Amino acid sequence: MKIKVVEATNLQLDWLVVRALQVSGVESYIFYSPKLGAMYNSATDQVYRPTTDLAQGGSILFGARIEIRYHDVIVAGIWYRDGIGRDEQLHKATGPTELVAGLRCYVISVLGEEVEIPKELT
């Protein structure tokens, strides 16, 4: 099923983050566990929730140089290509929290604005 990244639920976004990391060349032992109803990291034996865990999601945002801005009550994640001015943004996404906005922006920068997700995540 195809969805817009800006409309992804936290679980869908967690899955998309793992997919974006894999596309970026990061080896991953993370997969969706229907039993847990969440992403699971078999290497660390922990649930993987970058959308709600600052340690997991924050390191991705830091590494990707995602900037978080606030506009009234809207949180926006903005990604800039290296070497160009701040007035030339490439990708922007909003969300209810800094992590969600930033991770949506990260996924869009790697996978695009519309993505395929597995049926079990809908």
pLDDT tens per residue across span 2-60: 999 999 999 999 999 999 999 888 878 899 999 999 999 998 899 999 999 999 999 99
Mean pLDDT of 96-106: 88
Q: H helices of the chain, where?
A: 10-23, 54-64, 98-111
Q: What is the pLDDT of residue 83?
A: 45
Asked if residue 81 has pLDDT above 60, the reply is no
pLDDT tens per residue across span 86-99: 544 567 788 888 88
Pairing of strands 2-4, 30-33: unpaired
